Amino acid sequence: MKPKILRVGVVQQACDDNRDHNLRTSETAIREAAASGAQLVLLQELHTGPYFCQYESTELFDLAEAIPGPSTEFLGGLARELGVVIIGSLFERRAPGLYHNTAVVLESDGSLAGIYRKMHIPDDPGYYEKFYFTPGDLGFEPIDTSVGRLGVLVCWDQWYPEAARMMALAGADLLFYPTAIGWNPDDDEAEKGRQCDAWTTIQRSHAVANGLPVIVANRTGFEADPTGTLSGAQFWGSSFVVGPQGEFLAQAGTEGAEVLVVDVDLARSENVRRWWPFLRDRRIDAYSELTCRFRR
């Protein structure tokens, strides 16, 4: 097939507790990507502020906002001005006492093309997300845009092959993972290496298993635990773009803000799926027990 090029931008940034400053930092990066020809720009998870889930506090629910709301209005105006699709990640206040970790997709005309509510919610030291986020209820549905059908997932979703497969089976053209993941500073270098390698490998495997490009934006920088209970989080950056065989097209460093701008050939997915017809050879008649929690 003839190449079908989509130029994507990936923003990796550090965040502080100043929402306006974080949004302006994102804006500068989006403008940089658009000036380099990006048609779509992916921002990292919860990019309007610090990763607040390191501890539990009911006061932090005040950070949540409605969708549509101030951030979608801001990002939508930027999308309209620059003529790009923008994927953002927000703390959604759906109703009093009901909150989600929600990805938003702004079309190039500024309209809200759709949302995805994070389905898999972690609860680990330093990642107390179950306290803040209700699991998503919109399923694994891609969002149609002018640049393609976008399979948007969020952070912890990236470890689950089922999520990527469901998006692929619903016709996604690409998979996107806005992310906030980092090291525990108390871990030794070997353990840090294993964790980051596993994170990269599992997402590359989603590209291979589904024959789709995968685009990942992770935050960077150290964020302290305000309570002093834990040692904080050193977010490891390493944002990347891979093609449908898991091949690296670009990758950011582990430290520091970066903007990646990468050409992705969407036609390669068709070719790769012809060579490796995993979807054709799936034994869907034998997979019913996948819906079990455990088989023994």
* 278 is a domain residue: yes
Domain that holds residue 130: 5-291
Active site residues: 45, 118, 155
Q: Are 82 and 120 in contact (CB under 8 A)?
A: no
Indicate the DSSP class of residue 43.
Answer: P
Taking 80 as the threshold, does the pLDDT of residue 14 lie above it?
yes
* 12 is a domain residue: yes
Q: Are 166 and 258 in contact (CB under 8 A)?
A: no
* 296 is a domain residue: no
* 138 is a domain residue: yes
* 185 is a domain residue: yes
CA-based R_g, the chain, Å? 18
CATH number at residue 58: 3.60.110.10
Q: Are 57 and 9 in contact (CB under 8 A)?
A: no
**CA 6 from chain center: how many Å?**
18
CB atoms within 10 A of CB 227: 10
In tens, the pLDDT along 139-196 reads: 999 999 999 999 999 999 999 999 999 999 999 999 999 999 999 999 999 999 999 9
* 87 is a domain residue: yes
* 223 is a domain residue: yes
Residue of 239, 282, 240, 247 lying closest to 268 (CA atoms): 247
Contacts of residue 270, Cβ cutoff 8 Å, sequence gap at least 6: 1
In tens, the pLDDT along 21-43 reads: 999 999 999 999 999 999 999 99
- How many domains does one find in the chain? 1
Q: List the alpha helices (DSSP H) in the chain.
A: 19-35, 70-82, 161-169, 189-210, 267-275, 278-281
In tens, the pLDDT along 215-245 reads: 999 999 999 999 999 999 999 999 999 999 9
Distance, CA of 164 to CA of 273 (rounded, Å): 15
Q: What are the tokens at 162?
A: 């089922």
* 241 is a domain residue: yes
Contacts of residue 35, Cβ cutoff 8 Å, sequence gap at least 6: none
Q: Write down the mean pLDDT value for the chain.
A: 97
